[in-house]
Structure formats: structure tokens, C-alpha cells
Amino acid sequence: MEQTQEKLKIFLKGGKNAVLLIHGITGTPSEMRYLAKSFNKAGYTVLCNTLPHHCSSLKELKRATWQEIADLCIEDFKALKKEHEKVSIAGLSMGALMGIHIASKFPAEVSGIIALAPTLIYDGWAVHKGQALLPLAWHIPYFRNRIDIRENAPYGLKDENLRGAIQAFYSKAEKTSQNEKVVMFGSPFFPLASLYQHHRFCKVVKRQLRAVKTPILILHAKEDDMTSLKNAKYVFNNIGSSDKTLIVLENSYHMITIDNDKERVAGEAIKFMARL
């Protein structure tokens, strides 16, 4: 698994400033590749690691804790900071919250946060209403380790061509199979164990928001299918930063780094970092 994670890792050498990219929980560095290349073309060094226990089997994914994820991301941030004058953090979904978390730990060292579709709760228009009952189960280890939610259309994508490619894999995926396409598209299943870790981490980040003064750019799709715009507005209204911007995207769903607005996402992020 370590060899696979190292192979998926994105590291693009650039100039004196750098950006740490953090993909979403159950996701993959591939969802950050377009953004990584855009940053590097603009002159930045870019690092995006594979999160612990990701891009492997479903059984392995269930082992990931938010603390392990945070430890790896902090380690990566420190490594970049040793070699670069300014380091910003751009994260997707749970990765967006991780950027805020790291800024709370290193307030004088994180130059900027780019929060991409920040996710505090899965309340998007495509989320099955029955999932509201899952918190009743995730506190019980027996259920938490056995319930896996199959990812369903539109898979966070408004781009119909890309959605079709993912659907061809996701719709036929089995829990016990370990398909090489997991490294490209992410897990076809969202384990309740992962949802529980996300829930625990969100409680931590909510307590940290007011203390974070780092400049932040928040980008969120108006029609996000997985997590509503309320999430981005909550971050915007509660973070302690005086330098904060919220941009609402009109032509994407949740996966804004690869969906129809990906060029605008990259462009706005680069403009934000250039003025820090």
C-alpha cells in the first residue's frame, strides 16, 4: 500500500512559495491534479500526499482516523515550510477543514487557506434523507464497522462526461474488490467509520474557527449535491479572519476541482495567493 501511496503522491517543484493540497476523505490525489498543475504553472511548489489508508481496500480505508490524517498533513506542511518562504493550504471537502485546523496550530506560519467546498455536514440535495439516522448507528462500533454507503449519482459532478466515466466503475464495484480505478476516482463506498471520523473532526474545527485569523478564500458550488452552501457560509461567518472571501460557483456540484468550474477555481486560488 505504501508503494501505491507514494506513486499517487503529487510533488511539483516550483519557486520560493508553496502550496499544500489536501484531498477529501475517501478520495484521492487525482482529484487535485488539475489544481496542482495550475499552481505549479504559476510558479508554486506543490505537494499533495495520499491520505493515510486511502486508495486501497475498503477494509483499509475504515482504519483511517482524523488524527492520523492531521498528523500526515502537518508533517507535509512542516516539510514545505522548511524550504519555502510562504506556504498556503488548499483542501477539498474535509481537506478544507484540515487547512483551517493546521492554521489554528500554526497561526504565524500558514500564509493562506483555500477552502474548497468545506464540509461540516452532508446536507446536499442528492443526499438521501435516511442518512440523517446514521448518527444513531456510528457511535456503536459493531454498526460503524459494518455499514458502508454506496456512492450514487451524480457523484459530485455536473460534468456529464466525467460523471459517466465514474458511474461505469462505481455502479459495478463490489465491497470486496480492490480495483485499480480506486486510485483515480476514490472509493465507491463511503464507510460509516469514515463518516464518524469526519463528524468527530468537524467538532474540533468548529471550536477552532474563531481563533483562526489567517486569510481565507472559500469556494463552494451553489448546487453542491453533497454539502449545501450553508457549510461555506458557516465557515465564512464564524472564522476569525478579517481577510475572507466567499465565491459561489454556478456550474459545478461538489467536486469543484475537477468539475465544470475547475478553471475558475484555479484562477481565483492563484489570484488569492499572489496577493498574500
Rounded Cα gap, residues 43 and 273, in angstroms: 11
Cell of 139: 457511535
**pLDDT for residue 3 is more than 90:** no
Say which range, 50-64, 134-148, 226-240, has the weakest mean pLDDT.
Answer: 134-148
**Is residue 19 a contact partner of residue 87, using CB atoms and an 8 Å limit?**
yes
**pLDDT for residue 136 is more than 90:** no
Confidence of residue 140 (pLDDT cuts 50, 70, 90): confident
**pLDDT for residue 170 is more than 80:** no
DSSP states of 94-105: HHHHHHHHHHHH
Torsion of CA 48, 251, 236, 19, to 10 degrees: 20
Cell of 37: 498543475
- Position 189 scores a pLDDT of 87
Q: What order do you get walking across the sheet with 45-48 strand by strand? A: 10-12, 45-48, 17-22, 86-92, 110-116, 216-221, 244-249
- Calculate what percentage of the chain has a pLDDT beyond 70: 92
- Position 177 scores a pLDDT of 56
Who's near 158: CB < 8 A, 6+ residues apart? 221, 223, 251, 252, 253, 259, 260
What is the pTM assigned to this prediction?
0.94
Cell of 101: 485546523
**Is residue 218 a contact partner of residue 247, using CB atoms and an 8 Å limit?**
yes
- Cite the DSSP H helix spans in the chain: 2-8, 33-41, 58-61, 66-83, 94-105, 135-138, 141-144, 160-170, 182-185, 192-208, 229-238, 262-274
Q: How many domains does the chain have?
A: 1
Range 21-33 average pLDDT: 96
pLDDT in tens, 77-128: 999 999 999 999 999 999 999 999 999 999 999 999 999 999 999 999 999 8
Q: SS3 breakdown of the chain: % helix, strand, coil, rounded to 5?
A: 45, 15, 40
Cell of 43: 510558479
Domain residues for the domain of 250 are 2-274
- Position 105 scores a pLDDT of 98
Higher per-residue confidence, 225 vs 132: 225
- Position 45 scores a pLDDT of 98
- Calculate what percentage of the chain has a pLDDT beyond 90: 77
Give the CATH number of the domain where residue 208 resides. 3.40.50.1820
